[in-house]
Amino acid sequence: MGAGGPRRGEGPPDGGWGWVVLGACFVVTGFAYGFPKAVSVFFRALMRDFGAGYSDTAWVSSIMLAMLYGTGPVSSILVTRFGCRPVMLAGGLLASAGMILASFATRLLELYLTAGVLTGLGLALNFQPSLIMLGLYFERRRPLANGLAAAGSPVFLSALSPLGQQLLERFGWRGGFLLLGGLLLHCCACGAVMRPPPGPSLRPRRDSAGDRSGDAPSEAEADGAGPQLSEATPRTRPRRRLLDLAVCTDRAFAVYAVTKFLMALGLFVPAILLVNYAKDAGVPDTDAAFLLSIVGFVDIVARPACGALAGLARLRPHVPYLFSLALLANGLTDLSSARARSYGALVAFCIAFGLSYGMVGALQFEVLMAAVGASRFPSALGLVLLLEAVAVLIGPPSAGRLVDALKNYEIIFYLAGSEVALAGVFMAVATNCCLRCAKAAPAGPGTEDRASDTEDAEAEGDSEPLPVAEEPGNLEALEVLSARGEPTEPEPEARLRLAAKSV
């Protein structure tokens, strides 16, 4: 499936097959972010059939989101070990199987295990590999590519919410879950197109018996996982880490992780509660479901536009501040709309929320890529998603429990808005402090690891591959490696010639 396939060369192609990968990432992102919110359309039917409260039913979406985020490190390890395509194909099957099995559930616990755990895990195994592959294909146009891929979330949200309402009215929640499970099989098709970028592969060596060994690209590397090219010789190539925990020592990563935790506490709460909030305010069911579509329509425009804006030469170095501004705007929108009860006020809230929410969605992974670099992005993404999962398990369920206890949505919007606004303020202040400390501190041995993706690409383009020392006639290469103090394992003939030359 991946062994011997094309590999990444000196830099991302910024086009070509990358546009197909971008389209697949668009679909996967739409399912990953839109599906847990669209499932909330079925909550009232589930509450009626199972005799449960809103907080108990909301755990279905919360567990799905928690699995999407909490299995980030697992997804990182699997991608590093097996590659992007196999992981995404398996994830598509799991996501579909979860919803199909959920249609036969007779207890809420069964819904938690099927629609929550299985479908959430399947979406996670599609979402993270698609972002990793997108980073391999785009560098100069990466902000725009991230914005276009992130637009899949509002597009699918605006489509899945009315679709779920129609399925609920015609087939009930069981038939709706069954059909949505079939729809999730499209994730397998998206995984099938995730071939690695074209580029030169490392030259395979031959052992004493003349067989190819050791340096043939592994299946995971050929599928876009793990290091693509190394400055070391094939025999001395460093062993790949399945999960790089050293990224936690990076100050920029620590700031981003805390910001994402605060953000996740309140960012998703208004979108999850919006439909039921409107229904309790007397809005008809169809109009209430259409509110999510309004958020999606505005979000569709906001994400690509914000991605293109962040790609401008003057703004790209300041993307963290643009991200903090988007968080602050989203928090203030929640705070100012806490008392909205009329349909017109709810529509105005949806427009402002969709705009700020789209800016956050377009910039969140671009900020992380720029902070940690391409080589550490898979591990950093997995760890951030794990931290975000904890916040997701705290935020929406707590909000649902407060709704059941207080019968009032106003306090929920105040809490959610305060958390998101606090995340924006923290991101701006901490980033400014970290940048000042980084400018004042002398360059250390780990400076290269914290370089941006642009610097990584320039370094890869400027550096020349080391000469291959295993070839018997390449004595000069062997002397260069020996002078550098790097370990070499030359072939026996080359070793004898080097010894004879030194004598």
CA separation for the pair 466, 474 (Å, rounded): 12
| Averaged pLDDT, 230-239 | 47
Q: What is the pTM of this model?
A: 0.66
Torsion of CA 194, 199, 205, 211, to 10 degrees: 50
pLDDT at residue 169 greater than cutoff 80: yes
CA separation for the pair 450, 447 (Å, rounded): 5
475 band by pLDDT with thresholds 50, 70 and 90: very low
244-440: CATH topology: Growth Hormone; Chain: A; (1.20.1250)
> Could you confirm whether domain 12-197 is CATH 3.40.50.300?
no
User: What pLDDT is stored for residue 439 in this prediction?
Assistant: 56
pLDDT at residue 372 greater than cutoff 80: yes
User: What pLDDT is stored for residue 368 in this prediction?
Assistant: 87
The alpha-helical segments, DSSP class H, found in 311-409 are: 319-336, 343-372, 377-406
Encoded tokens for 2: 């991946």
Top mean-pLDDT range of 72-76, 256-260, 280-284, 285-289: 256-260
CB 224 within 8 A of CB 191: no
CB 119 within 8 A of CB 98: yes
Which residue's entry shows tokens 């705007």?
Answer: 329
CA separation for the pair 419, 396 (Å, rounded): 13
Which residue's entry shows tokens 């399947």?
Answer: 122
| Averaged pLDDT, 277-294 | 80
| Averaged pLDDT, 361-375 | 83
Which residue's entry shows tokens 């569709």?
Answer: 300
User: What pLDDT is stored for residue 93 in this prediction?
Assistant: 94
Count Cβ atoms below 10 Å from residue 492 Cβ, excluding itself.
9
| Better-predicted residue by pLDDT, 199 or 279 | 279
User: What pLDDT is stored for residue 12 in this prediction?
Assistant: 65
User: What pLDDT is stored for residue 437 in this prediction?
Assistant: 64
User: What pLDDT is stored for residue 438 in this prediction?
Assistant: 59
pLDDT at residue 113 greater than cutoff 60: yes
Encoded tokens for 417: 């808005």
| Better-predicted residue by pLDDT, 313 or 436 | 313
| Averaged pLDDT, 269-294 | 80
| Averaged pLDDT, 314-336 | 89
| Averaged pLDDT, 156-178 | 86
Portions of the chain given CATH number 1.20.1250.20: 12-197, 244-440
Q: Which residues pair with 212 in a beta bridge?
A: 206
